[in-house]
Amino acid sequence: MWGCWPFSSWSFMHGGFGPGGWFVGLLVLLAVLWLLRSVFGLGGGCCHRRNARADRDDALRLLDHRLAAGSITPEEYERLRRAIVS
């Protein structure tokens, strides 16, 4: 009973943590990496927030394309542009 695998003296006496310890260490490492990525935005990711100016510029660019394609009239364009800018 005292020599059972997870608590055997072999794991700790020889400087290692045994198979179970490596698995726990890997889980801890993955948790730390996930935390760093979610808190500091490391790793690229797709879910970063942009500022309001970039959103407004995108909306105006989309509105310009809709006017050029003829899907909205110039009057609609002006009304929507005023709503975006203000």
Burial of 84 (0-12, 13-18, 19+ CB in 10 A): middle
User: What is the per-residue pLDDT for 5?
Assistant: 56
Give 3 or 19, the one with higher predicted confidence: 19
Quote the pLDDT of residue 26: 85
The CA R_g of the chain, rounded to the nearest whole Å, is 29
Which is more confidently placed, 14 or 32?
32
Give exposure, 30-69, as e/b (b: 16+ Cβ within 10 Å): eeeeeeeeeeeeeeeeeeeeeeeeeeeeeeeeebeeebee
User: Is 15 a residue whose pLDDT tops 70?
Assistant: no
Tell me the per-residue pLDDT of 30-83, one tens digit each, with 9 for 90 and over.
998 888 877 776 655 555 556 788 889 999 999 999 999 999 999 999 999 999
